[in-house]
Amino acid sequence: MTNLSIEMGGAGKATSRLRRGRMPLGVVLAGLILAFMAVCAVAPGFVAPYDPYAPDLLASLKPPSTAHIFGTDQLGRDIFSRVVHGASYSLYIGLCATALAVAAGILIGLSAGVAGGFIDLALMRVIDVLLAFPGLLMSMAVVAFLGTGVTNILIAIAIASIPGYARIVRAQVMVVRTSGYVEAARVLGQPPMRTLLRHILPNTVGPLIVLSTLGIGSAILQSAALSYLGLGPKAPTPEWGLMLSEGQGYLRRGWWVGIFPGVFATATIISTTVLGRYIKALTDGRA
Amino acid sequence: MALLDVRDLAIRFVGRSHDEDVQAVRGLSFSLDAGECVAIVGESGSGKSATARALVGLAGDNALVEGSVSLGGRELLKLSQRDWLGVRGRNIGFVLQDALVSLDPLRTIGREVAETIERHRLLPRGEIKGRVVELLTQVGMSDAESRLGAYAHQLSGGLRQRALIASALSGDPGLLIADEPTTALDVVVQAQILKLLNGMKQAGKALLLISHDLAVVAELADRIIVMKDGVAVESGTPQQIFSNPQNAYTRALLAAIPSARTRGLSLVTGTGEEANKSVSIVPQLPVLEVSEAVRIFGKRAAVDDVSLTVVAGETLGIVGASGSGKTTLARLIMGLEAPDTGSVTLKGADWSSLHERQRRPLRHLVQLVSQDPMSAFDPRFTVERILDEALEARGFERSGWPERRLALLKSVGLSETHLSRRARQLSGGQRQRVAIARALAMEPEILVCDEPVSALDVSTQAQVLDLLLDLKRRLGLTIVFVSHDLGVVQHVSDRVVVMNEGRIVEEGAVEEVLASPRHDYTRALLAAQPRLPEGVAG
């Protein structure tokens, strides 16, 4: 809360304190972190000083130093290089799983919301059943069915996050459907299909896209969790969750092996969430 | 020494840069004593609400408030946020415009009213309930004890407003600030609330009333301050203001109030041709007929056995309080609802019984202007797209659209520069003009206006009403005009039907019905109408 500063001598000073519109520091920081991660994902060779797969048994489990800023793992591989290469897996899974889930969620939510009646009832009961399982459990079940690997955990994570999006889309469709402008389109004699594509769909999807930026973080978290449990890519892939679980065994002798992949994962997740919230707050304020 | 003393109040809203700063109020001074009522009147953006909010320390985080506000000798503008908490509710009660938004939907009325008492520890716990019941009874809520457990959405607009006033009174403040306390209410309830506020004044409260409508404050205020663009342009007793307004803006505000007196005259300029006073409808050609229509929602008949005929070229006013069924009737006429029994015919042919697919090609004949144009526009759409959607629906050649768009905008008093704006970038009056332009794009024969001006302040309302009447004359439109405001209906209508509880209780030429009402309900409506004192210099 800003104190109304009347007794302050300089009105100009008071004015500048009230000025708005500066981006919060946290958001700037989150943006920088994500930009860095994006560079890591797109051009890891550009950032990483070593080959992430090349073992150097003479240099195994070396603590952070100028040569290896994050130290080396049990096989003497440079952890910083491995973490940098790992960004592509996490971002790939996070983005694709969210995109897939949003697309499916729109399809299901829109069908349910527009059709109503029996179709709505049937779709929503299925969604309810899916919602009844915790997301991670759901993903694990899907991986158990599809098998392990990057593509499969991507699909698993997407399936587990569909219900949330479908619910939001349906709720939004319900609101938009009864809105004044949809009624106005009807008064103009616009056919229902055109109204659906022109008014209902865009006004439903807009808020969802914003919301989905928040979902990217949790998708990354889930992918790390699944990999940690051994359901993702296999060693020696430099995936953060997998590296975290490998590093667990060396916590006493080399804390750096597990800590740095964890720090990267955490930083990415928090950054997407911070940025997502900021975008959401911006668009909410405007609506 | 007055209870409230405001000296040189200035409020500036600080934007991102110096250019975006807004000086909302400048050099405002007035004082207010116990048992007295001062009214601040002005249009939207005049700074009246900013003033009210600044007096309770809620002008906003980006507001710079300067000057002096002293309440009982205590300087309020120097208070810290913490000190404000002790003042709000306890020394100053604040009544907001829209009780549905202002009351917490998850809390019962009883808890809402008790909050201030609990917050300031004014009574021992055991006595609070009794006090709340007493307060609710005091504001005229019958059977208050049983309503303690009710939530805001379960109460009517009038009862909600009463609950809000009760909660403002609960800390027994010496000063009550009411910001547009009756704007969301229909005339009958408005009259009750004004009476209640008058009772508070009699009981020794100081009352600061904020309104856009001079007629509303006429009976209550001891002094009136007229604000425009953040400055008090005139102040004085109602007697002075109404009989001898000094400022041109005050005179314009007075002239803008629609009533029987203003029929056929422009509300903005105060001029008009005598010939327009009553439109002579030579061929009595019915374009729309509603016969024995019934529409039931749940167990209640919203429209109950209603029959009426709309003649080509006339303006039919439909008047009634909230819940009288007038909006449902308008929706039946629009073909947005189907009657359960009875029928609506358009130009002698079936209308209400048509399948939507058959009705669609005919929809252009009947167009709608609704109360809230903001929600009637897709928020993503620019004015250009809004108009294009109508032009497309009407089947005009795409090549002719730009020309038509401009003609439409011109006919409603807007210009090309508005094409790229979105609804939220327009003022309330401009939005309503765009809504009218969209309706006109369809080349309708009948324009159904459902409370088209009730969300607008008096000056904007005057412009929109002038526009509607002008368009009617020029285009020969038939207008069905739904409103709760008798003054507005008197101003625009040729004939009027009065609705109460879903039925038409009275019908006839507007002069006859409103000059010598036969039905009790019509008389009650007329009596509730706020009116200017006699002898107003128009």
Which residues of chain B make contact with A191, given a CB cutoff of 8 A?
Answer: 360
pLDDT band at B277 (very low <50, low <70, confident <90, very high): very low
Q: Is the pLDDT of residue A160 over 60?
A: yes
What local confidence, expressed as pLDDT, does residue B344 receive?
Answer: 95
Per-residue model confidence as pLDDT tens digits over B282-335 = 557 889 999 999 999 888 889 999 999 999 999 999 998 877 889 899 999 999
Q: What is the pLDDT of residue B19?
A: 79
Write out chain A residues lying below 8 Å of B66, CB-based. Answer: 6, 11
Confidence at B228, pLDDT banded by 50, 70, 90: very high
Find, in chain A, the residue whose alpha carbon is nearest to that of B422. A287
Which of A15, A191, A287 is facing B14, going by the closest CB pair?
A15
Tell me the pTM. 0.80
Give B107-150 pLDDT, tens digit per residue. Answer: 898 998 898 888 888 888 888 999 999 899 888 888 888 888 88
Q: What is the pLDDT of residue A195?
A: 93
Model pLDDT, residue B536 = 60
Work out the average pLDDT over B396-424. 92
- At B20-45, the pLDDT tens digits run 788 999 999 999 999 999 999 988 88
Chain B 76-95, residues with CB within 8 Å of chain A CB atoms: 77-78, 80-81
Q: What is the DSSP letter of B216?
A: H
Task: Tell me the H-state helices in B14-121.
Answer: 48-55, 81-87, 99-102, 109-119
CB contact under 8 A, A180 and B17: no
Q: Is the pLDDT of residue B241 over 70?
A: yes
Q: Does A286 have pLDDT greater than 70?
A: no
Average per-residue pLDDT in chain B?
88
Check B16 against A184: CB less than 8 A apart: no
**Which of B55-69, B280-294, B300-314, B387-401 bottoms out in mean pLDDT, i.e. has the lowest?**
B280-294
- Secondary structure in 3-state letters for B304-358: EEEEEEEECCCEEEEECCCCCCHHHHHHHHHCCCCCCEEEEEECCEECCCCCHHH
Q: Mutate which of B382, B387, B389 to test chain A, going by most A C-beta atoms within 10 A? A: B389
Q: How far is CA A101 from CA A154, A160, B11, B355, in A?
A: 10, 8, 49, 38
- Band of the pLDDT at B538, cuts 50, 70, 90? very low
- The reply to whether residue B16 touches residue A20, judged by beta carbons under 8 angstroms, is yes
Does residue A148 register a pLDDT over 80? Answer: yes
What gap in Å lies between CA B156 and CA B162, rounded to an integer? 10
- Please check the confidence at residue A6 and state whether its pLDDT lies above 50: no
> Could you identify the residue written with the tokens 């049937």?
A122
Instruction: State the first-to-last Cα distance of chain A, in angstroms, to the nearest integer.
Output: 23
pLDDT band at residue B276 using 50, 70 and 90 as cut-offs: very low
Indicate whether B280 pLDDT > 70. no
User: Cβ of A12 under 8 Å from any chain B Cβ?
Assistant: no
In the numeric block, which tokens belong to residue A146?
């599809």
Q: Could you tell me the strand order of the sheet in which B74-75 lies?
A: B22-32, B4-13, B63-71, B74-75
User: In A, which residues are within 8 Å of B366 by CB distance?
Assistant: 187
Q: Shortest CA distance to B394 belongs to which of B357, B371, B418, B367?
A: B367
Whether residues B78 and A6 touch (CB distance < 8 A) is answered with yes
pLDDT at B349: 92
Q: Is residue A23 over pLDDT 60?
A: yes
Q: Provide the pLDDT confidence category of residue B191 given band limits of 50, 70 and 90.
A: confident
Q: pLDDT-derived band of residue B406, with 50, 70 and 90 as boundaries? A: very high
What was the pLDDT predicted at A107? 93
pLDDT number for residue B272: 64
Q: What is the per-residue pLDDT across B502-525, written as a single tens digit (0 to 9) for each?
A: 999 999 999 899 888 999 989 988
C-alpha span between B329 and A11 (Å, rounded)? 56
Helix axes A256-286, A79-115, angle to 10 degrees: 40
Name the residue in chain A with its Cα closest to that of B380. A203
Task: Decide if A189 and B78 are in contact by the 8 Å CB cutoff.
Answer: no
Mean pLDDT of A201-222: 86
Q: What is the pLDDT of residue A95?
A: 93
- Residue with the two structure tokens 């809004």: B386
Looking only at Cα atoms, what is the longest distance across chain A? Answer: 79
The confidence score (pLDDT) of residue A70 equals: 93
**Chain B partners within 8 Å of A180 (Cβ):** 370, 372, 375-377
Please tell me the distance from the alpha carbon of residue B538 to that of residue B530, in angstroms, as a whole number.
Answer: 17
Instruction: Kindly state whether A3 is in contact with chain B, defined as any CB-CB distance less than 8 angstroms.
Output: yes
Nearest by CB to A190, which of B376, B377, B389?
A: B389
Shortest CA distance to B461 belongs to which of B223, B267, B276, B227?
Answer: B267
Please, which residues have CB within 8 angstroms of residue B199's CB and are 6 or more apart in sequence?
none
**Both structure tokens of B384:** 């250009």
Q: What residues of B are in contact with residue A6 (Cβ under 8 Å)? A: 65-66, 77-78
Give the model's confidence band at A287: pLDDT under 50 very low, under 70 low, under 90 confident, else very high. Answer: very low
Q: B224 to chain A nearest CA, in Å?
A: 28
Q: Measured between alpha carbons, how far is B141 from B242 in angstroms, rounded to an integer?
A: 34
Q: What is the pLDDT of residues A45-94, one digit of tens each?
A: 899 999 999 988 888 899 999 989 999 999 999 999 999 999 999 899 99
Asked if A248 reaches chain B (Cβ–Cβ under 8 Å), the answer is no
Q: Tell how strand B206-211 and strand B37-41 pair up.
A: parallel
Q: From the CA of A257, how many Å to the nearest CA of chain B? A: 47
Calpha distance A90→A83 (Å, rounded)? 11
pLDDT (average), residues B58-87? 89
What lies within 8 Å, CB to CB, of B212 at 6+ separation is: B41, B42, B43, B44, B48, B180, B183, B457, B458, B459
Q: Which among B61-65, B399-403, B529-533 has the top mean pLDDT? A: B399-403
The reported pLDDT for the residue numbered B205 is: 92
Residue A259 has φ and ψ, to the nearest 5°, of -65, -45
> Is B495 in a helix, a strand, or coil?
strand
Contact assignment for A189 to B360 by CB distance below 8 Å: yes
C-alpha distance from A205 to closest chain B C-alpha (Å): 12
> Nearest-CA distance from B180 to chain A in Å?
24
Q: Do A180 and B16 touch (CB under 8 A)?
A: no
Residue B376, chain A, CB below 8 Å: the answer is yes
* Contacts made by residues B238-245, CB under 8 angstroms, sequence distance 24+: B238/B533, B239/B533, B241/B214, B242/B214, B242/B218, B242/B532, B242/B533, B242/B535, B242/B536, B242/B537, B243/B533, B243/B535, B243/B536, B243/B537, B244/B537, B245/B537
How close, in Å, is residue B436 to chain A by CA atoms? 12
B16 inside 8 A of chain A by CB: yes
**Phi, psi (degrees; rounded to nearest 5) at B235:** -150, 150
Residue A186 touches chain B, beta carbons under 8 Å: yes
Let me know: does B170 contact B139? Beta carbons within 8 Å: no
Rg (CA), chain B: 25
In angstroms, the CA B176 to CA B37 distance is 9
Q: What is the ipTM of this complex?
A: 0.78
How many CA atoms within 13 Å lie on the side-chain side of B52?
Answer: 28
| Yes or no, beta carbons of B363 and A189 under 8 Å apart | yes
Residues 19-58 of B with CB under 8 A from A: 21, 57
Provide the pLDDT for residue B51.
Answer: 93
pLDDT above 80 for A214: yes
- pLDDT of res. A12: 54
Residue pLDDT, tens place only, B435-467: 999 999 999 999 999 999 988 888 889 999 999
> Which residues from chain A sit within 8 angstroms of residue B393, using beta carbons?
188-190
**B519, exposed or middle or buried, with CB in 10 Å at 0-12, 13-18, 19+?**
middle
A13 contact B CB<8A? no
Q: Is B194 left (phi over 0), alpha (psi -120 to 50) or beta?
A: alpha
Tokens matching residue B252: 């314009």
The single residue listed with the structure tokens 């609704």 is B370
Q: What is the largest CA-CA distance in chain B?
A: 75
Chains A, B: CB contacts under 8 A, how many? Answer: 94
- Kindly list the distances between the CA atom of residue B471 and the CA atoms of A104, A118, A121, B437, B483, in Å, as whole numbers in the listed order: 49, 47, 48, 10, 19
At B79, the amino acid letter reads: L
Residue B490 to residues A24, B493, B523, Cα–Cα distance (Å): 55, 6, 14
